[in-house]
Amino acid sequence: MKHSEQPRKKRTQRDYNLGFKLSVVSQVEKGEMTYKQAQKAYGIQGRSTVLVWLRKHGTLDWSKPLQHQMPKSKETPAQKIKRLERELSDEKLKNEILNTMIDISDSQYGTSIRKKLFISTIQRIRQQQKVSLSRCCRLFGISRQAVYQSQRRSLFRSQQLSQVKYLIQQVRMDMPRLGTRKLYFLLKQEFDRQGIKIGRDALFDYLRTESMLIKPKRNYTKTTHSKHWLRKHPNLMKDTSPSRPEEFFVSDITYIKSRERTHYLSLVTDAYSRKIMGYHLSDDMSAENVVKAIEMATHNTKMTKNLIHHSDRGLQYCSAIYQSELKKHQIIPSMTDGYDCYQNAIAERINGILKGEFLINICNNGKELKKLIQESIEIYNNKRPHLSLNMKTPNFIHNKKPMKLTSSV
């Protein structure tokens, strides 16, 4: 009668002395066997017993045990086959996950990753690994002809975009900080004439890749002193919109620095057409200098009948010399209610356009600055389109019959 096998005695951690544990740990860390092979070879019970020893007594980081595998040079053929099968299985799973991610991105977010990036990806892979084009196309089911056609389209597009960049640079020689919407409006006919297919949003994208988008600048300095004893006038532009040229003139003063000193620019603008009618650059804000801007404006005015002059409550505009000049030409004065820049928003905006888009480089002295201002105002009046003028120029609107305008600038 056969004796039945005795049941194996269940062992615990206490059944293995420290020397045994250290010996097993040393063998595993030297790469002589994996921790699973050690468990099987020595009959160590428990799925993670050796792993616990490694984490406690080992010199390597065993928080991720899969990083510490047997060196490939010491693998048996069976172990090598098993490792390669596992790696192949992992790569297949990885590719399946990546392809699913791309499909979801293309279908839900419209990214078109496969279509847009396949050609450039193949070119990079071929340069790095010397892989043939035929092999790459065979793996993805794409013909070589399609690749060559895409390359020709890409080359043609880059040639077109280089011409776009040249045209933009030509416009920005006169208007260096002109925004993209206005650039597109000015160049659209030229794009069509040269057969360049590019929309406004595509132009934004192209300028962004070329670092040619205009970043807004925000700076503000108060130049108005409204707490004085001189007479102020009521606001006649409140709740009113201009309906024709030379109905409202708006005036303001802004500072501009040269390497020599700080200068002050006085502007008089037609509120309807946004045309700068008069200006004067001086080294101070005295009324005698500020009044020269309104003198130029009245000289350029075709009619002064029922003309209203609107400004803030600055000392210069309330002065006797300035009010006398208005009275001389039968111009009715109007002023903001206290210091509120929004009640003289058009004048403030014109200041911002000149300083933010044209007067962006510091001149050596006042003489250079005067010439720059003269050229900038000429370009502003005759070439720069306005959103508020339905993309027309101030001079064009000033010389045409009245039209309905928006509030943007």
Please say whether the beta carbons of 285 and 224 come within 8 A: no
CA pair distance 322, 282, nearest whole angstrom: 16
Q: For position 312, what pLDDT does the model report?
A: 86
Residue 283 sits at φ, ψ, to 5 deg, of -95, 0
CA pair distance 142, 219, nearest whole angstrom: 55
Provide DSSP, 150-207.
HHHHHHHHHHHHHHHHHHHHHHHHHSTT--HHHHHHHHHHHHHHTT----HHHHHHHH
Question: Count of CB atoms within 10 A of residue 284's CB?
Answer: 10
Q: For position 229, what pLDDT does the model report?
A: 41
Please say whether the beta carbons of 344 and 250 come within 8 A: yes
Q: In what order do the strands lie in the sheet with 308-311?
A: 276-282, 262-270, 248-257, 308-311, 332-335
Q: For position 2, what pLDDT does the model report?
A: 47
Please say whether the beta carbons of 282 and 289 come within 8 A: yes
Please say whether the beta carbons of 363 and 258 come within 8 A: yes
CA pair distance 378, 393, nearest whole angstrom: 11
CA pair distance 41, 321, nearest whole angstrom: 108
Which uninterrupted H or E stretch holds 381? helix 366-382
| Tokens read off for 393 | 């120029």
What would the 3-class secondary structure string for 84-127 be? Answer: HHHHHHHHHHHHHHHHHHHHHHHHHHCCCHHHHHHHHHHHHHHH
Taking CA atoms, 237 is separated from 181, 270, 278, 333, 343, in Å, by: 30, 13, 20, 10, 8
Angle at alpha carbon of residue 362, lines to 356 and 364, rounded to 5°: 155
Q: For position 265, what pLDDT does the model report?
A: 95
User: pTM here?
Assistant: 0.61
Q: For position 368, what pLDDT does the model report?
A: 92
CA pair distance 95, 393, nearest whole angstrom: 57
For residue 244, the number of C-alpha atoms closer than 13 Å in the C-beta half-sphere is: 10
Long-range contacts of residues 368-375, Cβ cutoff 8 Å, at least 24 apart:
368/258, 369/256, 369/258, 369/263, 369/281, 370/281, 373/256, 373/265, 373/279, 373/281
CA pair distance 244, 401, nearest whole angstrom: 8
Task: List the chain pLDDT tens, one digit each, 409 residues.
Answer: 444 445 555 666 677 888 788 888 888 888 888 888 888 888 888 778 888 888 888 888 887 765 556 666 667 788 788 888 988 988 888 888 888 888 888 888 877 776 667 777 777 777 777 778 787 777 777 788 877 887 788 788 888 888 888 899 888 888 888 888 999 999 999 988 888 888 889 899 888 888 888 876 665 555 554 454 456 678 888 878 888 899 999 999 999 999 999 999 999 999 999 999 999 999 998 889 999 999 999 998 887 678 999 988 888 888 889 999 999 999 999 988 866 567 788 888 998 899 888 888 888 999 999 999 999 999 999 999 998 899 999 999 998 866 555 555 5
Q: For position 65, what pLDDT does the model report?
A: 62
**Would you put residue 269 in left (φ > 0), alpha (ψ -120 to 50) or beta?**
beta
For residue 48, the number of C-alpha atoms closer than 13 Å in the C-beta half-sphere is: 7
Q: For position 402, what pLDDT does the model report?
A: 62
Residue carrying the six token digits 């060196």: 71
The model's pLDDT over 221-230, given as tens digits with 9 standing for 90+, comes to 555 544 544 5
Q: For position 217, what pLDDT does the model report?
A: 65
The model's pLDDT over 81-122, given as tens digits with 9 standing for 90+, comes to 888 898 898 888 888 888 888 888 888 887 777 666 777 777
